[in-house]
Amino acid sequence: MSIKVVFADSEVEAQWTEGSILEFAEKNGVMPDFGCRGGACGSCETRLLDGDVTYFEEPAYEPEQGHVLLCCSRPKEGIEQLKIDA
């Protein structure tokens, strides 16, 4: 199944391929803030507007409700769209 990823603030849309959402964003010209790339610092915390994510492993930093860490997550299987505020 194909998942459309929408970076709302940057007005970029792309079909999901692989990696973390942060890596995918960078490959598509979107440059969100980040620090550790491992889920420890929270620098890449971004508001989730639509869809859901899966973490590669439980991050050390817990994002606030309705937010996700881009560096250590990917779109959850089975969704049609992931829309984030980046």
**pLDDT at residue number 1:** 60
- Structural domain harbouring 18: 4-84
Q: What's the structural domain count of the chain?
A: 1
**Cα 47 to the center of its chain, rounded Å:** 9
Euclidean distance between CA atoms 18 and 11, whole angstroms: 20
Q: What is the dihedral of CA 26, 13, 20, 34, to 10 degrees?
A: 50
Please classify residue 49 by burial: count the beta carbons closer than 10 Å to its beta carbon, then call 0-12 exposed, 13-18 middle and 19+ buried: middle
Question: Per-block average pLDDT, block size 10, for the chain (86 residues)?
Answer: 93 97 98 96 98 96 97 97 97
The CATH number assigned to the domain holding 10 equals 3.10.20.30
